[in-house]
Amino acid sequence: QVQLVESGGGLVQPGGSLSLSCAASGRSVSFAAMGWYRQAPGKQRELVATISSSSGASTNYADSVKGRFTISRDNAKNMVYLQMNSLKPEDTAVYYCNVYGTMYWGQGTQVTVSS
């Protein structure tokens, strides 16, 4: 069993930045690919970014966030991060951490982009 806890969400103005963290416990996630998802009211949960477990740490991003968001990880700390820059109102959503391809999810952290 893996527990995931997201943090770092909040209110930010358009064009601003936030850094989200996902802390894993119960088991190391260093072997697993990880993902960030988001869900806005009335919309499906969508995949934002993924990062592999390999030393090459390959990443993948949704078209809507390419060039603005960066996913990273620190396996020694059992942590995954999402750096969010140039935020837009349409980025407003609850952001979730996931052990990619599994049923393991965090509770989510709210990101609100508004002036």
Residue type, position 4, single letter: L
Q: Give mean pLDDT, residues 44-71.
A: 94
Whether 3 shows a pLDDT value over 70: the answer reads yes
The pLDDT score that the predictor gives to residue 54 is: 75
The pLDDT score that the predictor gives to residue 57 is: 81
C-alpha distances in angstroms, 87 versus 1, 14, 65, 72? 33, 5, 9, 18
User: Model confidence over 60-108: pLDDT tens digits?
Assistant: 999 999 999 999 999 999 999 999 999 999 999 999 999 999 999 999 9
The pLDDT score that the predictor gives to residue 69 is: 98
The 3-state DSSP class for residue 96 equals strand
Q: Give mean pLDDT, residues 34-39.
A: 98
Is the separation of the CB atoms in 20 and 6 below 8 Å? Answer: yes
CB atoms within 10 A of CB 79: 16
Interior CA angle at 50 toward 94 and 37, to 5°? 15
Identify the residue with better confidence: 30 or 69: 69
- Average pLDDT score over the chain: 96
SS (H, E, C) 68-85: CEEEEEEHHHCEEEEEEC
Whether 55 shows a pLDDT value over 80: the answer reads no
Q: Give mean pLDDT, residues 28-46.
A: 95
Is the separation of the CB atoms in 59 and 66 below 8 Å? Answer: no
